[in-house]
Amino acid sequence: MKFLLPIFLSLIFISCTGKDVKPKVDSSFIVEELPAQESWNSTVFFTDSGKTAAILYTGHLQLFNTRKETILKDGVKVEFFNSLEVKTTTLTSKRGRVDERTNDLYAIDSVVAVNDSGIVVRTDELKWRNRDQKIVSDKFVTIDSPDEHIEGYGFESDQHLRNYVIYNITYITKANKL
């Protein structure tokens, strides 16, 4: 046993060279492209004068400070509320983004907006403009209401889907009432 300790200590001293080991740095990452914050299964509340104006739900949220942009992935749902804090409209999409400079929301891919009176808007992409709280799109849009079905290009509405306009109507028909 007396002989094993000096041999063991000798091996330790021999194996230590005194040189610092420098780890390899992966330079393929660009720091500006990494999110400053990231969250999963997120819920974000938007208020106005202490009242709930909207609630955003998303599966994956990435906040990029340098780009001033928040990326929304894995499903997006926004519930809009009126001044009495009653939910009036629900907007869903597969993904989206928020421009942090303007606070405009872009809903992308399989966008559906439904209001409490049965109006349903479908499109590939739309934008909720924060400055005037309007929903707009320059894409193909379909609107189904209890009274009619409308298709066309270019759309603008208040966020509650009460007053809307399709700029280039390609098809319109009355709803079949039983």
pLDDT tens, residue by residue, 24-65 = 766 666 666 789 999 999 999 988 889 999 999 999 999 999
With a cut of 70, say whether residue 100 has pLDDT above it: yes
- Could you give the count of Cα atoms lying within 13 Å of 111 in the half-sphere of its Cβ? 25
The answer to whether residue 39 is domain-embedded is yes
**Number of domains present in the structure of the chain:** 1
Dist CA 156 CA 149 (whole Å): 16
The answer to whether residue 111 is domain-embedded is yes
The answer to whether residue 54 is domain-embedded is yes
The answer to whether residue 109 is domain-embedded is yes
- 69-81/95-99 β-pairing: antiparallel
Question: How many C-beta atoms lie closer than 10 Å to residue 165's C-beta?
Answer: 11
| Distance from chain centroid for Cα 34 | 17
**Residue 118 gets which letter from DSSP?**
S
Q: Which domain holds residue 64?
A: 34-135
Listed range (45-59, 83-97, 120-134, 164-178) with the worst mean pLDDT: 164-178
Q: What is the CATH number of the domain that holds 48?
A: 2.60.450.10
